[in-house]
Amino acid sequence: MTSTMTKPGRIASIDVYRALTMLFMIFVNDLFTISDVPHWLEHAAADEDMLGFSDIVFPSFLFILGMSIPLAIEIRRKKGDSKIEILKHILIRSVALLVMGMFTVNLEAGVSSAIGKPAFTFIMLLAFFFIWNLYPKTEDKKKQSFYSILKIVGIIILAVLAFIYRDAGGDIFQPRWWGILGLIGWTYLLCAIIYLFLNKKRIYLIVAFFFFTLLCIAGSNRWLGSFDSIIPGNGCFHAFTMCGMLISLLFNQPKSELSINKKMLVSTGVGIGFLLAGFISHYFWIISKIQATPTWLFLCTGISVLFYVFMYWFADMQKKASWFDIIKPAGTATLTCYLVPYFLYSLFVLIPFSLPEVITTSPVGLIKCVVFSFITIGITALLGKAGVKLKI
């Protein structure tokens, strides 16, 4: 049976992994709408020694980001793009993520501007799609000009929104902690550049992974002083991504002498090794996503590697990727899918309607969060059919 999850040339397990991670991200992000959530599903507090389910999702996304980087860059190389052209694409993509990250993180601080938060959100999303929508390729000069005008209008809209923005305390528009998209942007920027210029020798990529891991350890021990947070996550986020990159190269290197079974065995050993490192490091550091501790890094990396090995076996080797076709848009239109809830939450504020308490209380509330996640993916699919899809 041929899977319909991916197009020819794509790795089925990567799209499935990304789609599942996005599904889980929407689910955990919606937990704030219900009460009595089981603590193990939530994010652990800053000083709490715990690995909640929510604490695993972001590392998984960074891991799959790393797996995608070599594939994306090699596709561009095969098309004839030079290193400078690819670097330009990396920079543009990173800036887009940073800009969207800043806008979404400022929304979290509240909006006291005259237009109000729902309107601010709607206009912000409209600008995002004006600028970064995947417009159809055309030779029609008028259509090309129209698309260019939309992009310029979007940029102007974002500039105006940033200028008029004031948060709940009256503070102006600022980076804050960059937001999830911004953190992804910073991580992608450095890791993609490392791969672009150092990929000819795998040892350089391994050294980069260990460098970021040591940076995470140094940050957790406060060895860096005023440079403690010079890199977001103290290198922890980059280590997740570099590990994903290395696993991707292991599985997809065409000239590798290892059979697929040996690749599976090596990857499984790596995943187990990271879990053991996490248990050992727990004697020295707590498990904390907010503090980005080495223990969190090792445990989540081990989980990500082992989960990918399973997904590779299930989706690519057993050809079961079609089982996940219902969530396909979350894996192929990930950015659109991530932003749809911002629209829905603002819409819910404007609609004078509230769900019964039983639906907003666990355990029934958890079902509501699952349903919301699938609705989000369904809307993403409809937008894609209508030609609306963010692409950076």
- 2-54 pLDDT per residue, tens: 334 444 446 899 999 999 999 999 999 999 999 999 999 999 998 999 999 99
The predicted model gives 340-350 an average pLDDT of: 93
pLDDT digits (tens, 9 = 90+) for 235-256: 999 999 999 999 999 988 766 6
Half-sphere exposure of 114 (CA within 13 A, CB side): 3
Q: Fill in the amino acid letter for 225.
A: G
Write phi, then psi, for 192 (nearest 5 degrees): -65, -40
Cα 140 to Cα 135, 136, 197, 308, 389: the distances in Å are 12, 11, 37, 43, 21
- Please report, rounded to a whole number, the percentage of residues in the chain having pLDDT higher than 70: 95
Residue 65 CB partners (closer than 8 Å, separation 6+): 184, 187, 188, 191, 241, 244
Confidence of residue 257 (pLDDT cuts 50, 70, 90): low
pLDDT at position 2 is 36
- In tens, the pLDDT along 66-102 reads 999 999 999 999 999 999 999 999 999 999 999 999 9
Whether pLDDT at 205 is above 60: yes
Q: Which of 34, 41, 32 is nearest to 365 (CA)?
A: 34
Hey, what are 88's tokens? 């330009």
Q: What is the mean pLDDT of the chain?
A: 92
In DSSP terms, 390 is beta-bridged to 133
Mean local confidence (pLDDT), 322-347:
95
For 291-313, write each residue's pLDDT tens digit.
Answer: 999 999 999 999 999 999 999 99
Tell me whether the omega of the peptide bond preceding residue 329 falls within 30 degrees of 0, making it cis.
no
pLDDT of residue 1: 33
The more confidently predicted of residues 112 and 225 is: 112
Report d(CA 24, CA 367) in Å as an integer.
13
Specify the amino acid at residue 60.
Answer: S
Domain boundaries, given as residue ranges, for the chain: 12-109+176-385
- CB atoms under 10 Å from CB of 243, counted, come to 29
The model's pTM is: 0.93
Residues 6+ apart with CB under 8 A from 39: 50, 52
**Those residues with Cβ within 8 angstroms of residue 149's Cβ, 6 or more apart along the chain or in another chain:** none
pLDDT at 228 over 80: no
The residue length of the chain stands at 392
Q: Could you give the CA distance from residue 239 to residue 232 in angstroms, rounded to a whole number? A: 11
Q: Show the tokens assigned to 326.
A: 């219902």
User: Using H for helix, E for strand and C for coil, what is the string for the chain?
Assistant: CCCCCCCCCCCHHHHHHHHHHHHHHHHHHCHHHCECCCHHHCCCCCCCCCCCCHHHHHHHHHHHHHHHHHHHHHHHHHCCCCHHHHHHHHHHHHHHHHHHHHHHHHHHCCCCCCCHHHHHHHHHHHHHHHHHECCCCCCCHHHHHHHHHHHHHHHHHHHHHHHHCCCCCCCCCCCCCCHHHHHHHHHHHHHHHHHHHHCCCHHHHHHHHHHHHHHHHHHHCCCCHHHCCCCHHHHHHHHHHHHHHHHHHHHHCCCCCCCHHHHHHHHHHHHHHHHHHHHHHCCCCCCCCCCCCHHHHHHHHHHHHHHHHHHHHHHHHCCCHHHHHHHHHHHHCHHHHHHHHHHHHHHHHHCCCCCCHHHHECCHHHHHHHHHHHHHHHHHHHHHHCCCCECC
Mean pLDDT within 183-201: 93
Backbone Cα Rg of the chain: 21
Q: Which residue has the higher pLDDT, 152 or 253?
A: 152
Q: If you average pLDDT over residues 98-113, what whole number do you get?
A: 92
The residue that leads in pLDDT, 227 or 291, is 291
